[in-house]
Amino acid sequence: MPGPGIPAPGTTISALYYYGDGCSHCENVKPVLATLRAKYPDLRIEMREVYNNATNQQNFSAVNLQYGLGNAGIPLIIIGNKALIGDIEIRDHLEESILAERDRLAAGNGAAPGQIRPSGFDYPAGMTSLTIPVVIVSALIDSINPCAFAILIFLLVSLTVAGNRRRILLVGGSYVAAMFLFHLLVGIGLFSVISLSGYSRMFSLIGAAVAIALGLVTILDVIRNKETYLLSVPDSKKGILGRYLEKVSVPAAFILGILAGLFGFSCTGGIYISILGLMGRSFTLLTGLPYLILYNVIFVLPLALVVLLVAYGLSPRQADRWRLGNRRLLRMIIGIAMVAIGLVIVSGWIG
């Protein structure tokens, strides 16, 4: 029996197309479909809009689940035993998929599309879906942000002089919450720009290039063995941060978190841009938002852990000594990881 969303093949070449009204990537696919429909009269494409049609949304989820596509975004075309995800893959591979399906039907062999097992889907060469493990690993690397850690520890040192556990949790939590919201909102804004531009692949490559460049600078920073680092909070901004560090209040900590996110973005921002570019290739903002939230939860997790440890007895001065003693090792790890992520994306192994 055919699957939950696959039209039964007959004398025509059948394909199933999921799209959304207002999706810029779907708009890019329109002329491709029009050209191929005119060229191949035996092609039948069943159109299913998922933004405004609840039935199509449920069907889309069922197809994703049945064929092991994960949380595939739109535009998505299923034809024969192929799943083409994103406007670039559809543009580059749909015609060859039509010809392959025509040959299969003419030969009268092979399983019908609805009978293909999940492992039978043939993804285009060089494409691996953005997965949750990739998001988690990238976020963990991004989270070892020396700029954000240094500011938080200075804040906690001030707090422990006259602060009790409740105050440490409130003020420290305010700082972490501000970092989370700042990065999430920046991510949503950049994701929207990337998605609307229709150049998500270009943005992912730009982010990868930035990650490689920042990674190399970070590695060279460690090798030159100086006390100051090129990728750190600028001296001109430390006075601004110092004013909020002195206040040690919930509102001041929140503003401090935003400033730390803003000034520290240069440390590891290339990783974030790369992941956003990869998300933009296959996800809409709606379907990509859970990945974006997960990334930012992982990003602030080490900061939240430091706040909890200090609130329950760890000396922030001890934490600062550990940070200073290991900062070169941490920066080297970050630098190597950023270069590695950038090279993986540029090579096309992911996205």
* C-alpha span between 344 and 134 (Å, rounded): 11
Q: Do both 93 and 138 map to the same domain? A: no
Q: Do both 87 and 141 map to the same domain? A: no
The string of pLDDT tens digits covering residues 124-155 is 333 445 678 888 888 888 787 666 666 776 66
**Is residue 163 situated within a structural domain?**
yes
Q: Do both 198 and 229 map to the same domain? A: yes
Domain range for 90 is 13-120
pLDDT value of position 120: 37
- To the question of pTM greater than 0.85 for the whole model, the response is no
Q: Do both 39 and 180 map to the same domain? A: no
Per-residue confidence band for 17, with pLDDT thresholds at 50, 70 and 90: very high
Instruction: Let me know: does 113 contact 78? Beta carbons within 8 Å.
Output: yes
**Is residue 3 situated within a structural domain?**
no
From 120, 154, 170, give the residue that closes a domain: 120
Number of folded domains in the chain? 2
Least confident range of 132-141, 164-173, 312-321: 312-321
Mean pLDDT of 305-317: 80
Q: Do both 85 and 156 map to the same domain? A: no
* C-alpha span between 15 and 43 (Å, rounded): 8
Q: Do both 184 and 319 map to the same domain? A: yes
**Is residue 4 situated within a structural domain?**
no
Per-residue confidence band for 68, with pLDDT thresholds at 50, 70 and 90: low
The string of pLDDT tens digits covering residues 208-237 is 788 888 888 888 888 887 666 565 555 544
Q: Do both 71 and 207 map to the same domain? A: no
**Is residue 136 situated within a structural domain?**
yes
**pLDDT at residue 200 greater than cutoff 80:** no
Q: Do both 116 and 139 map to the same domain? A: no
SS3 track for 260-299: HHHHHHHHHHHHHHHHHHHHHHHCCHHHHHHHHHHHHHHH
**Is residue 69 situated within a structural domain?**
yes
**pLDDT at residue 74 greater than cutoff 80:** yes
Q: Do both 48 and 183 map to the same domain? A: no
* C-alpha span between 110 and 127 (Å, rounded): 24
Please report, for the domain that includes residue 40, its CATH number.
Answer: 3.40.30.10
Q: Do both 338 and 215 map to the same domain? A: yes
pLDDT value of position 118: 31
Chain mean pLDDT for the chain: 75
pLDDT value of position 295: 92
**Is residue 59 situated within a structural domain?**
yes
Instruction: Let me know: does 183 contact 272? Beta carbons within 8 Å.
Output: yes
Q: Do both 179 and 116 map to the same domain? A: no
